[in-house]
Structure 1
Amino acid sequence: MMDRDGDIALEPRQAIGSQESAPGDAHEGASGAGQDPEKRNQILAGARQVFFDRGFDAASMGDIARAAGVSKGTLYVYFENKDDLFAELVSSECCETAERMFVVDPDEEDLEAALTKIGRSFVAAILRPSSIALLRTVIAISGKFPDVGRRFFEAGPCAGISRLSVFLRIKVQQGLLDIEDVDQAASQFLTLCKDGVTIPVLVGAPDAPDPAAVEKSVRGAVRVFLRAYGSDRRTAP
């Protein structure tokens, strides 16, 4: 069959042991094609470089194979096509970003300090160059590939809201917050934190936000959030 680059793309079983295979790749599919996590991460690293440098449409499977240091046959053992590879990259990047977002002790009694820490780590995570590049690429192709947009939304924004909701629910149980819909409250808090910070970066003006502006946005979000949902709104900061 022909691939998107106009080259012959071997079927996964044909790719194993083919002449196109790089040294050490020849038999890696024999005991479970595409299951080596190190090789998979190696391919995703190459894909990240190519997709973010060139954009989805300009990227080719051949380019990705070269950037990843694997044969094109090996690439097709792990991923069916470019769409499948990019969708997996979206999920991988979103999971990595989610892990960076919320590192906070659920038993932290100083709610203002805990929310400030969450807000800072959230904004820092979404402002990473790779996060911005991913968002730009997803926006550019989601109309053509709605499933990619759906996977990004579920693995990114929805996952972030779910993680924060767990923390907020604990604080409600501890009597520190008064919230009827924790998912809605989590979404509101994250939106407040990034308000006025991410859009300028996303469109390239400026290239990097002023740290003071980020801090102001996060602290403002915490202040508004606690006034809205603090168990004693009269004394909330």
Structure 2
Amino acid sequence: MHDSILDQELSSALEDGIESAKRRQILEGARKVFLARGFDGASMGEIAKVAGVSKGTLYVYFDSKESLFEALTTEEKQGLAEVLFKLDAEDPDVRGVLRKLGLSYLRRMGKPEHISSIRMVMGAAEKFPRLGQAFYEAGPCQGIARLKSYFDRQVEAGRLSIEDTGVAAQHLLDLCVSGMLRRLLFSVGDPPTEDQIQKNVENALRVFFAAYGPDAPKQ
């Protein structure tokens, strides 16, 4: 009886692993097709072909191109937020923590494939607003929420002076990409160099701490 239960649990775990791998395989194929064709130009048939699965299998996992696109963008942005916004609230060097975040954030935002994904979502959002909302909630909103929580801890510790930590989180991220993200979205110039990234982040930190540092004027 005990061995039978173990066999069932092992079989279930194996099936879950196969299901997860197949889903990941489909999402990876979809990512390639969406980036190459855009949302409107992509077809479920081509996605199935690139992913190496049948259309029948594809529809078992995702019932429409919209649901597949939403799952892809949501998972990618959630994963990015988890990786970028790991902030040590106990580290007294707030500037150092935010410098590390700013550099990682801007390096990622400036990648051509990331710019392409933003354009793709913006192109699809007018026809399918839910896709734009899902992208925004999974990415920017998650990052801002994590940064807000970090700022709350720093205000409590007296390391920052902020009245609205949510607004301050948006300010910092906007300052980091200031003058860079917009031109990249319009395909103006080359991706930022490491020197340009570091200069942008240092400028952002200087403005941020002038407004929100522990010695900043009370708001």
Q: Please indicate the TM-score interval, normalised by the length of the shorter structure.
A: 0.7 to 0.9
- The alpha-carbon deviation at position 220 of structure 1 amounts to 0.8
CA shift digits 1:180-230 (9 cap, x unpaired): 111000000000000011122222222311222211111111111111111
Q: Which amino acid aligns with 1:200?
A: R
CA distance in 1, matches of 2:164, 2:67: 35
Distance in 1 (alpha carbons) for counterparts of 2:28 and 2:145: 27
TM-score by length of 2: 0.87
Counterpart CA distance in 1 for 2:98 and 2:56 is: 48
Distance in 2, Cα, partners of 1:211 & 1:203: 20
Match of 2:61 in 1: 78
Q: Is the 8 A contact 1:52 1:137 kept in 2?
A: yes
Instruction: Confirm whether residue 148 of structure 1 aligns to residue 131 of structure 2.
Output: yes
For structure 1, the residue ranges without an aligned partner over 5 or more in a row are 1-30
Counterpart residue number, 1:7: none
Correspondence 1:227 to 2:210: yes
| Shift in Å, 1:104 | 3.2
Q: Does 1:157 align with 2:140?
A: yes
> Partners in 1 of 2:132 and 2:42 — Cα distance?
18
1:168 corresponds to which residue? 151
**Distance in 2 between the 1:81 and 1:65 partners?**
12
| Distance of 2:164 and 2:181 partners within structure 1 | 26
What letter matches 2:78 in structure 1? C
After superposition, the C-alpha distances for 1:136-193 in whole angstroms (9 at most, x for unaligned) are 0011111100000111111111111001111111111111011111100000000000
Superposition deviation, residue 96 in structure 1: 2.2
Partner of 1:37: 20
Counterpart CA distance in 2 for 1:225 and 1:174 is 18
Equivalent-residue separation in structure 1 for 2:76 and 2:215 (angstroms): 39
Corresponding residue SS for 1:178: coil
CA deviations 1:60-95 (Å, max 9, x no partner) are: 101100111111100000001101110111101211
Q: Tell me: higher relative CO, structure 1 or 2? Use CA pairs within 8 A at least 6 residues apart.
A: 2
Superposition map of 1:1-237 within 5 A: 36-233=19-216
Q: Distance in 2 between matches of 1:203 and 1:100?
A: 27
CA distance in 2, matches of 1:203, 1:89: 24
RMSD: 1.8
Question: Higher helix share goes to which structure?
Answer: 2
How far is the alpha carbon of 1:130 from its aligned partner?
3.0
CA contact under 8 A between 2:112 and 2:191: conserved in structure 1? no
Mapped to 2, the partners of 1:66 and 1:197 lie a distance apart of 37
The one-letter code sitting in structure 2 at the alignment partner of 1:106 is: A
Equivalents in 1 of 2:86, 2:103: separation in Å? 11
Say if 1:97 and 1:126, in contact at 8 Å, map to a contact too. Answer: no
**Structure 2 stretches of 5 or more lacking a match?**
1-14
Q: Which runs of 4+ in 1 moved over 3 A?
A: none
> SS state of the match for residue 217, structure 1?
helix
